[in-house]
Chains A and B, each alone.
Chain A
Amino acid sequence: MAYLEVRDVHKTHVSPRGASHVLGGASLALEDGEFVAIVGYSGSGKTTLISLIAGLIRPDHGEIVLDGALVAGPGPERGIVFQQYSLLPWMTVRENVALAVDAVDAGQPAAARGRRTEELIALVNLSAAIGKRPSELSGGMRQRVAVARGLAMRPKVLLMDEPFSALDALTRATLQDELLRIWNEQRSTVILVTNDVDEAILLADRIYPMTPGPGAVLGAPIEVGLPRPRERRHMSLAPAYQKARREIVEFLRGCRRVGA
C-alpha cells in the first residue's frame, strides 16, 4: 500500500441553491518523500480534493488513508498551505508561525520552540520581517509565511492549494524557486494543487491531471522525467519537459472537448 492513498472519493456539495456533484471517484497514490502535483482547470474540484485529504470535509463515498491510518478529520500531520488570506492578521509573522510550532511541539521547552520558529522563518527568507503583521507584507511574503507555517506542522504530507495563484508572475517564479530549494533540503512529501502546468512540471515528480467537473476524476499520472536538482533556466528546452507538457495539455484539452 502506498504512503498516501485516495481511493474512489466522491463528493457532492449541497447548498440552498441545489446540489453540485464535484468529485466523481478521484483516486491517487503517493510515496513517502514524493512531490506530486494535481493540475486542472479552475473550478474543477481541486480545492475540494485537497480539503478532503486535509480532513476539513468528509467524502460521501471512498476513503483516504495516510501511513496506514484512515483520515477522519483535520490534523497537523496533513499540514496545509491555503490559497490566500489564511494568515491571522492580528498576529505578527513570528506569532503566526509560533502558533503552529507551539501546537505541534507542545512537549518541547519554550526556548526550543522559539528557536524552531526562527529557523523556519529564516528558511523562507523572512527573518527581517519577523515582527511585522500580514497587512505590512507583500502577497509573496505572506505566502512564504504560510509555507513556513505549513512546514512548522511537521506534516507527513504537506498540502498546497494553489499557493502562488494570487501572485504576479515574477513573484510566483521566485517562490517556485524557493519551494524547489526548500524541498531539496527537506524532502517532504508534498501534494501541490495548481492550474499552472509549468509550475507543476518544474516542481513535481508526478502529475495527476484532473478532468473538469462536474464529477471530476483524476487521469493516469504523468511522470516528469527531469533530473533533480532542477533549474528553471534550462528546463523548457529539455525533451522530458516538452513531453510532460504535451501529455498534460492533451489530456486537459481532450477532457474540455468532451466536457463542454
Chain B
Amino acid sequence: MTSTRLSKVLLPLLGLALVLLVWTALSQTVATDLPSPAKTWAESRRYVLEPFFKDGEMNQGILRLAFYSLVRVGKGYLLALAIGTPVGFLLGLSRPFRETFDPIIQFLRPISPLAWLPLGLVIFRQSEPAAVFTIALCAMWPTVINTAMGVSSISPDYLNVGRVLKLSRWKMLTKIIVPASLPYVFTGYRLSLGLAWLVIVAAEMLTGTPGVGGFLWQEYNSLVYSHIILSVLTIGAIGFVLDRLMSVVEARFKAA
C-alpha cells in the first residue's frame, strides 16, 4: 500500500476511532448523561435500519424526517436563489442600485436566523411559511454577495469585445456578463445551500415542525438523549453530501 492510500484511508479511520474513544470516555466519566456510542446505536438502530417507518407525527425513520427537512430547505433555498441572484446582478451592474442598497444589505446580513423566525411567525402566522421565510432570508446573502462580486470582477477585455461588437444590452448580459460571472454565482449557490441547511435546525426547533431539527428538540424534551446524537450525525451527513454535490456542479461551471 502506498503512503498516499495509507493517509487517505487509514488516517481518517484513525481520527474516527479517536473521536469514538473520547466520546466513550466522556460518557463514562464527566458527562454521565451523555449516551455512549454503543448505547446511541442500540437506541437508534430502528431509525437507521428502517429509515422510512412512521409511527406518529414526531416518531419516524430518520430519512423520512430528513426528507421533510430537505423539502423545507429546498423551498427556502430556491426562494433565496430566486431573490438573491437578480439582486446580486443588479448590485454588480448598477452603481445607483449598489449605493442605494449595499448599506442595508451589509446591515441585514449578520442577523441570526433566531432573530428572523419570530418575525416570520408574526408576518405569516404559520410555522411552515415562517420557516421557509427564515431559511430564504438567511441563505440568500452568499448568493447576493458572490454574484455581485462575479459581475464586478469580469475582465474588461471581455466587456470590450462586447463594446466593439456593439452588442445590445440584452446580448451583453446573456452572452458575456452572465456566463463570465457564473463561476462566482455557483460558489454563492454552494455557500447558500450550506447556510440554508444550518438554518433548518433552528427553524424546526423553534416551530416544532416535523423534520430532523424538530425531532432533535422533541427528543431533548423527552430525555431521549441518544436521539439527539442521531439527529446531529444525520444533519452532519446530509450537510456533507449536499456540499459535495454542489462542489461537483460548481467545478463543472469553473471548468467551462
Contact = CB atoms under 8 A, between A and B. Distances in A.
Contacts, number: 52
A74 B256 contact: no
A88 B164 CA distance: 14
Contact of B157 (A76, A86, A103, A104): A86
A156 to B, nearest CB: 13
B160 A88 contact: no
B58 interface: no
B165 A86 contact: no
Interface residues of B, number: 18
Contacts of A103: 165-167, 171
Interface residues of A, number: 23
Contact of B256 (A54, A80, A90): A90
A100 interface: yes
B166 A90 contact: no
Contacts of A99: 161, 165, 175
A235 B157 CA distance: 35
A40 interface: no
Interface string B105-124: 00000000000000000000
Given A99-B175, A133-B256, A88 B163 contact: no
A208 interface: no
B256 A79 contact: no
Contacts of B175: 88, 99
Interface string A73-114: 111101110100110111100000001100110000000000
Contact of B166 (A54, A74, A89, A133): A74
A18 B164 CA distance: 28
Interface in B180-216: 180, 182
A188 to B, nearest CB: 16
B166 A75 contact: yes
Interface centre among B158, B163, B164, B167 (most CB of A within 10 A): B164
A88 B161 contact: yes
Interface in B146-165: 155, 157-158, 160-161, 163-165
Given A88-B176, A90-B180, A90-B256, A153 B164 contact: yes
Contacts of B255: 135
Contacts of A88: 158, 161, 175-176, 179-180
A74 B163 contact: yes
Nearest to B163: A74
Name, among A54, A74, A78, the residue most crowded by chain B CB atoms within 10 Å (CB to CB).
A74
A76 B166 contact: yes
Interface in A34-64: 54, 56
A56 B163 contact: yes
Contact of A80 (B164, B179, B180): B164
A73 B165 CA distance: 11
Contact of B165 (A90, A91, A100, A133): A100
A76 B182 CA distance: 27
Interface in A61-75: 73-75
B164 A54 contact: yes
A90 B176 CA distance: 9
In the A-B complex, the 3 residue pairs with the closest CB atoms: A103-B165, A90-B179, A74-B163
24 contacts: A54-B164, A74-B160, A74-B164, A74-B166, A75-B164, A75-B166, A76-B165, A76-B166, A78-B164, A79-B164, A80-B160, A82-B157, A82-B161, A85-B155, A88-B158, A88-B161, A88-B176, A90-B179, A90-B182, A90-B256, A99-B165, A99-B175, A103-B166, A103-B167
